[in-house]
Amino acid sequence: MQTFTKSSKLEHVLYDIRGPIVDEAARMEAAGETITKLNIGNPATFGFRAPLEVIVDMAANLRDSEGYSDSKGIWAARKAIMQYSQIKGLPNVGMNDIYTGNGVSELIQLSMNALLDTGDEILIPSPDYPLWTACATLAGGTVVHYLCDEAADWYPDLDDIESKVTDRTKAIVIINPNNPTGAVYPKDLLLRIADIARRHGLIVFSDEIYDRLVLDGLTHTSIASLAPDLFCVTFSGLSKSHMVAGFRIGWMVLSGNKDIARDYIEGIKMLSNMRLCSNVPAQSIVQTALWGYQSVNEYTRPDGRLTAQRDFIFEALNGIPGISAVKPKAAFYIFPKIDTERFGIKDDTRFVLDFLREKKVMLVQGTGFHWNAPDHFRIVYLPAMPELKDATEKLRDFLTVYHQ
């Protein structure tokens, strides 16, 4: 009998955010267990609701959303995104430079497929949002991870970036604000990254999906606004800031010096046409979401829910013997370090699984984010305070006796 195996293209693809830990949690839930899920940024699960105005707008537009739109998206959505991009300072952006997608994930895949040939290299941060590495690998590229420095607020290590550029490097990816660390990059750092890209002739991909979830009064700067001479591709969307992850609406903006990327842009257009269009009902809310009342400000102000929960998780984790963490400045993730010698940890997947099975709390292991040591894990601090306190107490209790 003929058997069928998975494609060899998947051999080096890792996506442990939804991997064996999630599978084990699903098995436990099927057996009647209740799991606290600190593994994925899904705001609706934890009581974060979409603004009512957004829901009303989508409902009002449903009858006009039954057909396909232009492959790039509906006019009103793209116009709103163009104006938002202009206010953010992205240079040389017109209507034809805007592509909507079924979340940013779809557009990352599209952009990688349009760019990378076998053997082409692309610089991606470590730790990373693993979809970037997965998509670049599936597209045939070779991912080269550059380090982000925990001792420097998780900022990219510029010397490490410089040392990893070769004559096969085509692009650099930055994730700002960062997932999984919550870092927000200052303007001077972005200028230096842009200078590296300029000297080596690199495309800049900037994942900015959390640009409206910045805490502590900080301001997000888009790297494209600082480098009009470079070709930049900027990604953002409403999934996180407007708590509508299930609506699947993201976008991609091409900016700067498009003359150096004309052939690549044609590839993007072709792949965009092949997928017909993105979610039309979700596109209908973009204009209202971007320019209406910004409910996200309620969560990120000094007395807001996200700020309070960020402050709590930071203090709680640093109060557990054997755990230390850098304070995140944005998004809703923290990436703490665990003393592997103290707990005998050699396999962080086993550590996370052991914690899940004993305490019914789900984390994500650091190596799932292409971090090459079993000494970190990611926590989503979206659950309401009682649940968050319970989870950290369970972690403290677990570590008092744990040894791998």
- Residue at which a domain ends, from 248, 264, 291: 291
pLDDT beyond 80 at 13: no
Q: Which of 396, 312, 318 is nearest to 359 (CA)?
A: 396
Q: How far apart are CA 357 and CA 35, in angstroms?
A: 10
The count of C-alpha atoms lying within 13 angstroms of the C-alpha of 365, restricted to the half-sphere facing its C-beta, is 27
Please report whether residue 220 resides in a domain: yes
More confident of the two residues 44 and 231: 231
Please report whether residue 222 resides in a domain: yes
Please report whether residue 56 resides in a domain: no
The count of C-alpha atoms lying within 13 angstroms of the C-alpha of 135, restricted to the half-sphere facing its C-beta, is 20
Taking residues 159-175, what's their average pLDDT? 98
pTM: 0.95
pLDDT digits (tens, 9 = 90+) for 355-378: 999 999 999 999 999 999 999 999
Say which DSSP state 207 is in.
Answer: E
Please report whether residue 3 resides in a domain: no
Output the average pLDDT for the chain.
Answer: 94
Give the per-residue pLDDT at 254. 98
Shared domain for 273 and 171, answered yes or no, is: yes
Whether 122 and 146 have beta carbons less than 8 Å apart is answered as: no
Give the per-residue pLDDT at 65. 86
Full domain range(s) for residue 321:
8-49+298-401
Shared domain for 174 and 198, answered yes or no, is: yes
Shared domain for 234 and 373, answered yes or no, is: no
Please report whether residue 106 resides in a domain: yes
Q: What is the CA radius of gyration of the chain?
A: 21
Quick one: 161 exposed, middle or buried, by C-beta within 10 A (0-12, 13-18, 19+)? buried
- Residue at which a domain ends, from 242, 269, 291: 291
Shared domain for 221 and 272, answered yes or no, is: yes
Q: Locate 169 and state its tokens.
A: 């490097």
pLDDT digits (tens, 9 = 90+) for 16-33: 666 789 999 999 999 999
Please report whether residue 338 resides in a domain: yes
Taking residues 227-251, what's their average pLDDT? 93
Shared domain for 253 and 395, answered yes or no, is: no
Give the per-residue pLDDT at 11. 75
Shared domain for 89 and 237, answered yes or no, is: yes
Structurally, the chain folds into a number of domains equal to 2
CATH of the domain at 134: 3.40.640.10
pLDDT beyond 90 at 12: no
* % of the chain beyond a pLDDT of 70: 99
pLDDT digits (tens, 9 = 90+) for 53-97: 888 888 888 888 888 888 899 999 999 999 999 999 999 999 999
Give the per-residue pLDDT at 359. 98
The count of C-alpha atoms lying within 13 angstroms of the C-alpha of 259, restricted to the half-sphere facing its C-beta, is 3
Please report whether residue 59 resides in a domain: no
pLDDT digits (tens, 9 = 90+) for 282-312: 899 999 889 877 888 899 999 999 999 999 9
Residue 29 C-alpha from the chain's centroid? 27
CATH of the domain at 35: 3.90.1150.10
Give the per-residue pLDDT at 68. 86
Shared domain for 269 and 235, answered yes or no, is: yes
Shared domain for 313 and 282, answered yes or no, is: no
Shared domain for 276 and 313, answered yes or no, is: no
Number of other CB atoms surrounding residue 48 within 10 Å:
21
Taking residues 209-238, what's their average pLDDT? 97
More confident of the two residues 9 and 136: 136
Please report whether residue 81 resides in a domain: yes
- Residue at which a domain ends, from 225, 256, 291: 291
Give the per-residue pLDDT at 84. 96
Shared domain for 93 and 165, answered yes or no, is: yes
Give the per-residue pLDDT at 66. 84
Say which DSSP state 214 is in.
Answer: B
Q: How far apart are CA 80 and CA 86, in angstroms?
A: 10
Give the per-residue pLDDT at 18. 62
Shared domain for 279 and 322, answered yes or no, is: no
* Full DSSP string of 288-343: HHHHS--THHHHHSTTSHHHHHHHHHHHHHHTSTTEE-PPP-BTTEE--EE-HHHH
More confident of the two residues 50 and 156: 156
Shared domain for 203 and 311, answered yes or no, is: no
